A and B are shown apart, each in its own frame.
Chain A
Amino acid sequence: MGIRYLKEPKLENPEVVACWPGIGNIGTLAVDTLRAQIGAEAFAEIEPWDLFYPRKLAIRAGVVTRMEFPSSRFHARSVAGRDVMIFLGEEQPAEADRMYAHGRKAEEMGNLVLDVAQRFGCRRIYTSGAAVSLIHHEARPRVWVVATSEGLLKNLRRQENTVLMSEIEGIGGSGSITGLNGLLLGLARRRGMEAACLMGEIPDYLSGVPFPYARASKSVLEVLSRVLGAEMDYGTLNAMIAQVDGFVETIYENLPSPMKERIEQRKLERPSKQEPITEDDAKWIKEHVDELFRKGDKGGERAA
């Protein structure tokens, strides 16, 4: 297992943004949009076979021609005079039937990303994920910020629409970030590198839906682009938000009335008075989302 270089980029102390899929694919959508917008080009990839089960086999005329694995690719570009390296993992190297990596494979993957980052003199790394929150889906998602140093934390908190975990009522500044988007912070800290995770808020009742929560991705991208000094065109992301809002409305309209009323209260009450959806509510949503989208298909709407 190792890194395969497609070409040798000229990078000087780049800022690194690394992301793997998680709830609502908030981070990966934000980082992939950043990659596309700045025109970052792939220069290296992590060899997949020790980390992943393959995703696709191709046979032509009875002979195996190709086996595809989830990609784990490094990209680079200079933005406003500063070098930016972007790492995007198509999957976390998880055990069968799990979404998040843990244990040896997670550590190996994280260290490989940091090896490449350090090789080019990187000192600061950003990851991104989801913050499951007691917000209403019409609210603008904030970006929760966690960092490995006070300095970076303060710097990020100064950005518009960011919030610290300690400022979220009922949390008290403590919690955890599951999977590689969290683990990378710890691994970076051990190597003396600064790192931060930007987590876009997603309503708790939408945390299990099978489409990317683009509103939160936009919030994350707004923060990232300001930090990196990159100019963004949000046209594509806004179109996706409009589409996702349609799906969310479909779900919302079909929620049982008591659940809908409780969620509606979130528009009016202070956060401290709000309560998460119950286990029964979560179970109901999980069981009915597919059914709702099948109904949507008949009416001409389609899930992403």
Chain B
Amino acid sequence: MNSSERETKAEREPLRFFSRPALRSPVLVVAWSEDAGRLGPKVNDYLRRKLGGHTFCEIEPLEFFPMGGVAIENDLAKFPASWFYASPEHDLVLFESSPPSSDWYRFLSLVMDVARDHCHVREVHTVGGMVTISAHTTPRQLVAAFSSTEVKRNLSSYDLVTTFDYETAASQRPTLSSYLLWVAKRRGIPAASLWVPVPFYLAGGEDLKAERRVLQFIDQRLELGIDFRELDQDIKRQNEELAEARAGSAHIEECIAKLESNQGLSEEESLRLVEGIDDFIKRKREQAS
């Protein structure tokens, strides 16, 4: 496709370019705004803050999101957004979006169009949190699924959990990240879907250890030299807060101790643990402000 054909194609598509960043052969990191422990958005946010860059493209929402009103979250009106950011200096592209509610294949194909035709992306990484029944003290593993055995081989030296079989359960559907991985495979774009287990009682808030695990991989893979000091301080603070929550509540202590010794929790125990941690974190934030 020559450049004029590409321009014509782009004009027909719901893509809005603000600039054309000069990229060589970047890696694209994809995050969805609704994610366990807000993992994907937090990873992208940290990369943006530490590496710089700018927004260069938007997928317009009309075709992919219901335009029947506006969602309110914590008193704030939300609107679906699908943005591409570029850090030409580090040859990195970030994409962050609300999960589309229709025309998923077309939406994901547009993401791949921007990646391949406009940015000449060499590899795509999706980032996602995986809710698990585990304690926050458990080391975070990075689980990866690949578009091909070649991508798997290329990433085999990065301490990833890569050898597993999986099939979507009958009552579930594949995740959007898995769907993107498949679309990338169809188009011959090397891709990996990265997942970090997030303890269920941190899924509604943030899991900073999981965030660091993903960032550490991206840092190594792209040799970015990310400054982790700020994140490490935040992890220390979160660990201290969770230790305080345990010390202040027999129920929280008992539940987390059970999880640490690989014992299950009842539905009621799980709910009370989530409520207990949420209340504690909320009180801490109120005190801090």
Q: Which residues of A contact B (CB under 8 A)?
A: 49-50, 53-64, 67, 95-96
Top 7 closest pairs, chain A to chain B, by CB: A57-B174, A62-B162, A49-B105, A59-B166, A67-B182, A56-B168, A57-B178
A58 near B166: Cβ-Cβ < 8 Å:
yes
B165 → chain A closest CB, angstroms: 6
Q: Report which of A50, A60, A67 forms a contact with B165, defined as CB distance below 8 A.
A: A60
- The answer to whether A62 and B145 have CB atoms under 8 Å apart is yes
Pick from B102, B146, B167: contact of A63, CB below 8 A: B146
Does B173 make an interface contact (CB < 8 A)?
yes
Across the interface, B174 reaches (CB within 8 A) one of A49, A50, A56, A63, namely A56
By the criterion CB–CB under 8 Å, are B167 and A58 in contact?
Answer: yes
Q: Is B101 an interface residue (CB 8 A)?
A: yes
Taking the nearest CB of chain A, how far is it from the CB of B180, in angstroms?
Answer: 11
Q: Are B146 and A50 in contact (CB under 8 A)?
A: no
Contact of A54 among B106, B144, B147, B174 (CB under 8 A): B174
Complex contact A96–B102 (CB within 8 A): yes
What 0/1 readout, one digit per residue, does chain B (129-168) give for beta carbons within 8 Å of chain A?
0000000000000001111110010000000001111111
Complex CA gap A58/B152 in Å reads: 16
* Chain A neighbourhood of B181, CB < 8 A: 64
A64 touches B163 (CB 8 A): no
8 other contacts beyond A53-B179, A96-B101, with CB at 8 A cut-off? A54-B173, A55-B173, A62-B145, A62-B152, A62-B163, A64-B145, A64-B146, A67-B178
Interface membership of B120, Cβ < 8 A: no
Q: Least Cβ distance of B168 to chain A in Å? A: 5
Measured CA separation A55–B168 after assembly (Å): 8
The residue of chain B having its C-beta at the shortest distance from the C-beta of A96 within the complex is B101
The minimal Cβ–Cβ distance linking B12 to chain A, given in whole angstroms, is: 16
Are B168 and A63 closer than 8 Å at their CB atoms?
A: no
Q: Is the CB of B101 within 8 A of A50?
A: no
* Nearest chain A CB to B66 CB, angstrom units: 8
Decide yes or no whether B103 CB sits under 8 A from chain A: yes
Which residues of the other chain, A, contact B162 by a CB distance below 8 angstroms?
A: 61-62
Are B103 and A57 neighbours in the complex by a CB distance under 8 Å? no
A256 to B179, CA, bound (A): 46
Residues of A within 8 Å of B146, CB to CB, are: 62-64
Closest Cβ neighbor of B66 among chain A residues: A95
* A50/B148 contact (C-beta < 8 A), A57-B166, A59-B164 known: no
Residue of B nearest to A47 (CB): B105
Tell me the smallest distance from the CB of B158 to a CB of chain A, in Å: 13
Q: How far is the CB of B187 from chain A (nearest CB, A)?
A: 12
Contacts of B101 in A (CB 8 A): 95-96
Tell me the chain B residues, 242-274 only, with Cβ under 8 Å from chain A.
Answer: none
Distance to closest chain B CB from A164 (angstroms): 37
Q: Does B104 contact A (CB under 8 A)?
A: yes
- Bound form: Cα–Cα A56–B179 in Å: 10
Q: Is the CB of B178 within 8 A of A64?
A: yes
Complex Cα gap A58–B166 (Å): 6
Q: Indicate which residue in A50, A55, A64, A95 contacts B182 across the interface (CB closer than 8 Å).
A: A64
Q: How far is the CA of A61 from the CA of B149 in the complex (A)?
A: 9
A61: which B residues are within 8 A, CB to CB? 162-165
Give the complex CA separation of A95 and B64 in angstroms. 10
Residue on B nearest A69 in the bound complex, by CB: B105
- CB pair A56–B152 under 8 Å, yes or no, is no
Q: Looking at the complex, which one of B144, B168, B178, B185 makes contact with A62 (CB distance below 8 Å)?
A: B144
Determine how close the nearest CB of chain B comes to the CB of A128; give it in whole angstroms.
Answer: 25
In whole angstroms, how far apart are the Cα atoms of A224 and B185 in the complex?
44
The proximity string for B residues 101-129 relative to A, scoring 1 for CB distances below 8 Å and 0 otherwise, is 11111100000000000000000000000
